[in-house]
């Protein structure tokens, strides 16, 4: 990029007497035109796995799996898989009871799937779970508790995998109360109505 010497002369005085200033301005202009790369999207997977120790899984021998959300995040998808000790897919029929609670209310779980469909496999070895009506937004310390609620088949393991993406902003406001009854006006002069 060529620098207009007349513009520099007007901005910093006589350019021939200040070559350091000329170089400084060239550097500033070059830096101003440098593109800033987009931020890297942070994701994490949460893997819930139940195993039979190389033998066919037995429902009564499985324990709940408990995992904690590491940062404010949004659930992007949920997948289920089932297989054998060699890692090959094995069709099974199973359902996972997936609950969550906030860190402060440990033990007061709510179904992640809300009124929707819980994660499951139906005579299949994999499933991209339908997350419609699932609770999607979580904060640091929220806890997932996953348990197999039913199982039929000869697979030696079942896994539920959740993909979460970090969010940079706080996850919403439960309620907004204007105690002082002030009118809220945005930067364009419009009155904000909260419903």
Ordered by where they begin, the domains of the chain are 1-36 (no CATH), 43-166 (2.60.120)
Q: How many CA atoms lie within 13 A of 166 on its CB side?
A: 10
pTM, full prediction: 0.68
pLDDT digit of tens for each residue in the chain (195 aa)?
565 655 555 555 554 567 777 788 787 777 777 777 777 788 999 999 999 999 999 999 999 999 999 999 999 999 999 999 999 999 999 999 999 998 888 777 899 999 999 999 999 999 999 999 999 999 999 999 999 999 999 999 999 999 999 997 555 554 555 555 666 666 667 777 665
In this structure, how many other beta carbons lie within 10 angstroms of the beta carbon of residue 9? 14
The strand ranges marked E within 37-142 are: 43-51, 65-68, 73-83, 92-101, 110-111, 120-124, 126-128, 137-138
Q: What is the pLDDT of residue 191?
A: 73
Instruction: Output the pLDDT for position 33.
Output: 73
Residue 82: predicted pLDDT:
98
- CA-to-CA distance for 96 and 107, rounded, in angstroms? 18
Q: What is the pLDDT of residue 194?
A: 61
Q: Residue 67: what pLDDT? A: 95
Identify the pLDDT of residue 72: 93
Tell me what pLDDT residue 170 has.
Answer: 52
């Amino acid at each position: 990029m060529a620098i207009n010497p007349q513009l520099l002369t007007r901005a910093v005085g006589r350019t021939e007497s200040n070559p350091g200033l000329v170089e400084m301005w060239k550097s500033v202009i070059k830096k101003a035109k440098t593109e800033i790369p987009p931020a890297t999207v942070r994701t994490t997977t949460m893997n819930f796995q139940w195993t039979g120790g190389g033998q066919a899984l037995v429902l009564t021998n499985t324990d709940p799996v408990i995992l904690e959300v590491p940062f404010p995040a949004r659930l992007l998808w949920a997948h289920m898989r089932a297989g054998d000790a060699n890692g090959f897919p094995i069709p099974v029929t199973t359902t996972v009871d997936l609950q969550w609670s906030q860190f402060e209310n440990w033990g007061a779980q709510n179904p992640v799937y809300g009124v929707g469909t819980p994660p499951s496999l139906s005579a299949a070895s994999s499933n991209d779970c339908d997350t419609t009506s699932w609770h999607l937004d979580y904060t640091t310390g929220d806890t997932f508790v996953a348990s197999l609620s039913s199982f039929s088949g000869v697979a030696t393991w079942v896994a539920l995998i959740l993909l979460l993406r970090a969010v940079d902003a706080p996850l919403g406001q439960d309620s907004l109360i204007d105690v002082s009854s002030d009118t809220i006006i945005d930067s364009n002069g419009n009155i904000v109505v909260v419903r």
